[in-house]
């Protein structure tokens, strides 16, 4: 079929009922928002397309109405398999009401699944997810009762070792966004900060006899593109959708196109770092003391204020000059960003496709990762993916933690109303948080302490008042902050009693009093 050039409304009309859709996007980057909005409008008017089976790797949306929120209509979905759900709160009540089958798989696994779908592989085999809620011996990634009769992942044993075998879909629709198309349908990503899974998704739908829709800013003349700039060859594209609105300029859900996201120009005039000495900085400073500049060369920072503060403290202490930062959707180097810009970086050194970044992670390419700490239990398990009816989703958390040799989880000891002050070299708790974060059993296992220990990973749980390390039998308390009472401020605020080190220490006093710790010499 010759390539057709259509608008978003026509694209929505061409999506059939019961389509298996492979959708690309990361927050707002690469997301074909205009097509999705037209699909929702058509469904609300006509009741079609209905019964959709949607697969996406990363979180897509703005936490309000965009991205995968567009599928939040009763009967619109048959199934949704997503790597992250927090950006689509409109889907939560429908999932809870069992309107469709809901699954949460690791982001990296899903990005690699599309590549395997292109090659007609029946399953994707990996260790990622063992011991977590994704493991079929736990819940198999199911998020509701509607999914109870569907099995999308199984345990297998190869050469005496356990692995997970994820079922690979056969998408017949690909929904993508690039920047420019030419008259032959070749697609470039000039103004997008990431290329994500676009090539794999287009190839997967094409090779499975499906249709590939790509939303673009503008169509250029034949021969106007450099071959190496083309990320989706025109032979894979069926429909080029030239956007009618300026929505294509949205590089994230919050900001307009930023040329610094796609430029490797070195920024020479960095703003001076001036972090207040609060609990966030205390946590980040203690985490920084676990950094070893001789061995920790490739570092990943997760999303959230605590991992992001760790990045700033490493810079403040002069420890980040010789490390290579990575962010899971594909950036190496530069300054990783947070919030609505998460995934992008200012002046990155390089950007690769997302499945290859997760190949790098799965093979142990990262030396160290700083991640958030939402809920932990006595076994060293962590939950960052589900809290009561709220579905956050794992994102890249499972992929990153499964194969990284050194992991530092960071966060406050309690939550909801916690007020603290760092004064006179001590930590003062003004008001205790209402929610205990160290619980008897986490609601969902996103990180398995048992699996990590068996894999000889080094794991720490760093809070503003206490530091734990993972040992064979679970969490071991190794340090407490000056000014903190062991019984009142730590043990009474936990739902279990941790192993307490025979050599329990007080945290380094420099953390609580000096403008700069000058820890270069100790790294």
The two three-digit tokens of residue 158, written as one number: 């190869």
Say how far apart CA 451 and CA 131 lie, in whole Å: 6
Q: Are 128 and 162 in contact (CB under 8 A)?
A: no
Measure the N-to-C terminal CA separation of the chain; round to a whole number of Å: 61
Tally the C-alpha atoms within 13 A of residue 246's C-alpha that lie toward its C-beta.
3
* Strand 161-167 to 153-158 pairing: antiparallel
CA atoms within 13 A on the CB side of 232: 40
DSSP-derived letter for residue 115 is H
List CB contacts of 280: < 8 A, sequence separation 6 or more.
305, 306, 309
Q: Coil, strand, or helix at residue 474?
A: strand
Residue in 173, 171, 258 with CA at minimum distance from that of residue 213: 173
328 is catalytic: yes
CA-to-CA distance for 429 and 422, rounded, in angstroms? 9
Give the separation between CA 292 and CA 305, rounded to whole angstroms.
22
Give the β-pairing of 458-462 and 382-383: unpaired
Structure tokens at 333: 């180097």
Q: What is the torsional sign of CA 35, 36, 42, 48? A: positive
The set of residues, in sequence order, having a beta carbon less than 8 Å from that of 133 and lying 6+ positions away, is 104, 139, 141, 385, 386, 444, 445, 446
Closest among 59, 57, 65 to 107, alpha carbons compared: 57
| Pairing of β 466-471 and β 458-462 | antiparallel
To which H or E segment does residue 211 belong?
A: strand 211-216
Strands of 392-515, DSSP E = 406-410, 414-415, 419-423, 426-431, 435-436, 438-439, 458-462, 466-471, 474-480, 499-506
- Check 192, 316, 317, 328 and give the catalytic one: 328
Is the Cβ–Cβ distance between 430 and 510 less than 8 Å?
A: no
CB 260 within 8 A of CB 24: no
Residue with tokens 């707002």: 28
Distance CA 355, CA 108 (A): 7
Q: In sequence order, which residues have a C-beta less than 8 Å from that of residue 336 and are 6 or more positions away? A: 301, 311, 325, 327, 342, 344, 345
Q: Which residues are marked as active site?
A: 328
């Amino acid at each position: 079929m010759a390539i057709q050039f259509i608008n978003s409304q026509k694209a929505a009309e061409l999506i059939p009922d019961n389509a298996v859709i492979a959708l690309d996007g990361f927050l707002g980057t690469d997301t074909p928002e205009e097509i999705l909005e037209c699909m929702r409008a058509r469904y609300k008017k006509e009741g079609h397309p209905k019964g959709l089976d949607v697969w996406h790797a990363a979180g897509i949306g703005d936490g309000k109405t965009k991205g995968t929120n567009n599928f939040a209509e009763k009967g619109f979905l048959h199934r949704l398999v997503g790597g992250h759900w927090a950006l689509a709160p409109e889907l939560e009540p429908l999932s809870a009401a069992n309107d469709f089958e809901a699954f949460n798989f690791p982001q990296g696994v899903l990005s690699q699944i599309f590549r395997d779908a292109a090659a007609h592989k029946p399953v994707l085999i990996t260790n990622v997810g063992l011991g977590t809620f994704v493991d079929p011996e736990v819940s198999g990634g199911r998020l509701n009762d509607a999914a109870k009769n569907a099995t999308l992942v199984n345990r297998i044993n190869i050469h005496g070792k356990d692995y997970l075998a994820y079922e690979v879909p056969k998408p017949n629709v690909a929904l993508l966004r690039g920047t420019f198309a030419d008259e032959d349908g070749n697609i470039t990503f000039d103004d997008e900060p990431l290329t994500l899974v676009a090539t794999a998704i287009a190839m997967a739908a094409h090779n499975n006899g499906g249709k590939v829709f790509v939303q673009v800013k503008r169509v250029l003349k034949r021969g106007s593109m450099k071959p190496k700039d083309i990320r989706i060859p025109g032979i894979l594209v069926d429909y080029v959708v030239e956007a009618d609105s300026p929505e294509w300029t949205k590089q994230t859900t919050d900001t307009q196109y930023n040329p610094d996201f796609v430029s490797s120009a070195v920024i020479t005039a960095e703003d001076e770092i001036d972090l207040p000495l609060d609990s966030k900085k205390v946590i980040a400073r203690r985490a920084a003391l676990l950094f070893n500049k001789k061995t920790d060369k490739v570092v990943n920072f997760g999303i959230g204020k605590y991992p992001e503060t760790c990045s700033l403290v490493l810079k403040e202490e002069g420890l980040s000059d010789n490390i290579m930062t990575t962010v899971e959707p594909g950036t190496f180097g530069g300054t990783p960003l947070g919030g609505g810009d998460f995934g992008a970086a200012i002046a990155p050194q390089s950007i690769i496709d997302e499945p290859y970044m997760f190949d790098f992670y799965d093979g142990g390419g990262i030396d160290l990762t700083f991640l958030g700490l939402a809920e932990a239990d006595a076994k060293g398990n962590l939950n960052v993916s589900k809290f009561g009816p709220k579905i956050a989703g794992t994102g890249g958390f499972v992929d990153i933690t499964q194969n990284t040799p050194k992991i530092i989880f960071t966060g406050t000891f309690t939550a909801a109303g916690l007020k603290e002050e760092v004064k006179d070299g001590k930590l003062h708790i003004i008001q205790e948080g209402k929610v205990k974060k160290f619980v008897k059993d986490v609601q969902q296992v996103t990180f398995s302490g048992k699996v990590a220990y068996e894999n000889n990973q080094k794991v720490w749980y760093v809070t503003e008042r206490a530091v734990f390390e993972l040992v064979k039998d679970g969490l071991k308390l190794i340090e407490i902050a000056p000014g903190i009472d062991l019984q009142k401020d730590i043990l009474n605020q936990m739902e279990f009693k941790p192993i307490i080190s025979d050599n329990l220490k007080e945290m380094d006093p420099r953390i609580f009093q000096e403008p700069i710790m000058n820890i270069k010499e100790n790294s």
